[in-house]
């Protein structure tokens, strides 16, 4: 089979490798689609190294069909359409016991240290199957739409920590794939208004399509003024930072209403240092949190929202590449024109 293996930083090779055969407890998945995440690019360049072990087949936003099940596997049949939550918790550590499985100390991440979805077939390890990380999708939606259950699960976990209530005003900073999913979930949660800050790009039109009250270009417009106009002069109840620019943290502290909530959702570039006016947190009584990855339950909820078409992932996939052109796919993913780029291993030409 073909597989895109990261053999060294900035060296992603499409190679012909033996198709794995599932052993006890393992499931072999024929990959239908693997969408590219910003983190994949950081792993490729060597900017992200935690939980990563090279060489590895990249890809953690994956959906496909069960091709073969190993001995003693129950609950999965050949032909089942599946998606997977890639951060597999060990279920035995302090974090797992405390309900913080997304911060599991012993987690193994598919596509980071275990071969992932940028291949014709992916072997789901027995520990991932046993942990309940492989989910059957009762849906005939295209795999590329199901693959987005992974980022959507992370978004749902983020909004569980920074809840959007009925009637809330929300500001979403950045309308990349993550911001667009946050927008859709904020709408589902009953937000009164969702302001989206995004410089000119095709992403602005998608934000409008998904129900943004107003899309602001922060490069030419006064974001603070637009926010005041749409929030009765007080500022949003909730601000979600979806691009990794450290200076935006202080901007969020300034814009949020007294008593409001902020989620630093995006990982921040560089060392992540930001100069903030901490008195804003004190005097405005702000709740600031981050969130990282998700729990298995968030993935399951995400898959349900996609298969029931409560969340539109179809419009978000803008570019598609066969596996052999995976390096072109990464180049496209790095450009602002793309929203979500899918690698489709079953496709030979596009
Ligand atoms: Zn654990």
Residue range 242-294, pLDDT digits in tens: 999 999 999 999 999 999 999 999 998 788 899 999 999 999 999 999 999 99
CA of 94 to the centre of ligand 1 (A): 6
Tokens of 16: 């012909």
Question: What's the average model confidence in pLDDT over 45-65?
Answer: 96
CA of 88 to the centre of ligand 1 (A): 9
Label residue 18 by pLDDT band (50, 70, 90): very high
d(CA 224, CA 109) in angstroms, rounded, equals 39
Question: What's the average model confidence in pLDDT over 62-83?
Answer: 98
CA of 142 to the centre of ligand 1 (A): 32
Residue 349, pLDDT above cutoff 60: no
CA of 332 to the centre of ligand 1 (A): 35
**Alpha carbon 179 to chain centroid distance?**
10
Q: Helices 149-161 and 177-188 sit at what angle, rounded to 10 degrees?
A: 60
Tokens of 163: 């809840």
Label residue 346 by pLDDT band (50, 70, 90): confident
CA of 330 to the centre of ligand 1 (A): 31
CA of 85 to the centre of ligand 1 (A): 15
Q: Where are the beta strands (DSSP E) in 180-221?
A: 193-197, 214-216
Q: Is 40 helix (H, G, I), strand (E, B) or coil?
A: helix
Which residue in 304, 317, 298, 306 sits closest to 141, CA to CA?
306
CA of 202 to the centre of ligand 1 (A): 40
d(CA 242, CA 182) in angstroms, rounded, equals 9
CA of 96 to the centre of ligand 1 (A): 4
Give the per-residue pLDDT at 81: 98
CB 342 within 8 A of CB 318: no
Give CA separation, 184 vs 199, 254, 310, in Å: 19, 24, 9
CB 182 within 8 A of CB 265: yes
Label residue 348 by pLDDT band (50, 70, 90): low
Question: What's the average model confidence in pLDDT over 96-119?
Answer: 97
Give the per-residue pLDDT at 336: 81
pTM: 0.97
CA of 83 to the centre of ligand 1 (A): 21
CA of 290 to the centre of ligand 1 (A): 19
CA of 19 to the centre of ligand 1 (A): 30
φ, ψ (nearest 5 deg) of residue 196: -120, 130
Give the per-residue pLDDT at 270: 80
CA of 9 to the centre of ligand 1 (A): 28
CB 65 within 8 A of CB 82: yes
Q: How high does pLDDT run on average in the chain?
A: 96
Residue 350, pLDDT above cutoff 60: no
First-to-last C-alpha distance (Å) of the chain:
19
Q: What is the DSSP letter of 110?
A: B
Residue range 89-98, pLDDT digits in tens: 999 999 999 9
Residues with CB under 5 A from ligand 1 (ion): 89-90, 93, 96, 104, 106
CA of 128 to the centre of ligand 1 (A): 13
Residue range 205-255, pLDDT digits in tens: 999 999 999 999 999 999 999 999 999 999 999 999 999 999 999 999 999
CA of 103 to the centre of ligand 1 (A): 7
Give burial (CB, 10 Å; 0-12/13-18/19+) of 167: exposed
């Amino acid at each position: 089979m073909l597989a895109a293996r990261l053999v060294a930083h900035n060296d992603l090779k499409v190679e012909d490798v033996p198709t794995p055969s599932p052993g006890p407890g393992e499931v072999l998945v024929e990959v239908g689609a693997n969408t590219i995440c910003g983190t994949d690019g950081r792993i490729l360049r060597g900017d992200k190294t935690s939980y990563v072990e090279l060489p590895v087949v990249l890809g953690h936003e994956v959906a496909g069909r069960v091709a073969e099940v190993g001995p003693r596997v129950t609950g999965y049949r050949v032909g089942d359409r599946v998606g997977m939550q890639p951060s597999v918790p060990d279920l035995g550590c302090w974090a797992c016991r405390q309900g913080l499985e997304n911060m599991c100390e012993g987690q193994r991440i598919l596509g980071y240290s275990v071969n992932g979805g940028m291949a014709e077939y992916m072997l789901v390890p027995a520990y991932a199957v046993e942990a309940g990380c492989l989910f059957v999708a009762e849906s005939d939606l295209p795999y590329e739409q199901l693959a987005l259950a992974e980022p959507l699960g992370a978004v749902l976990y983020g909004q569980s920590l920074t809840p959007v209530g009925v009637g809330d005003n929300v500001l979403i900073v950045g309308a990349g794939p993550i911001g667009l999913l946050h927008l859709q979930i904020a709408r589902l949660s009953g937000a009164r208004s969702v302001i989206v800050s995004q410089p000119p790009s095709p992403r602005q039109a998608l934000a409008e399509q998904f129900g943004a009250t107003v899309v602001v270009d922060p490069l030419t417009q006064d974001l603070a003024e637009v926010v005041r106009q749409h929030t009765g002069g007080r500022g949003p109840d909730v601000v979600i930072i979806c691009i990794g620019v450290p200076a935006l943290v202080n901007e969020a502290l300034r814009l949020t209403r007294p008593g409001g909530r902020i989620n630093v959702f995006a990982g921040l570039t560089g060392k992540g240092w930001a100069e903030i006016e901490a008195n804003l947190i004190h005097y405005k009584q702000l709740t600031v949190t981050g969130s990282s990855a998700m729990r298995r339950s968030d993935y399951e909820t995400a898959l349900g929202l996609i298969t029931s078409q409560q969340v539109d992932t179809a419009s978000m996939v803008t570019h598609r590449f066969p596996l052999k052109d995976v390096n072109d796919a990464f180049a496209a993913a790095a450009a602002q024109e793309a929203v979500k780029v899918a690698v489709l291993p079953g496709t030979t030409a596009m």
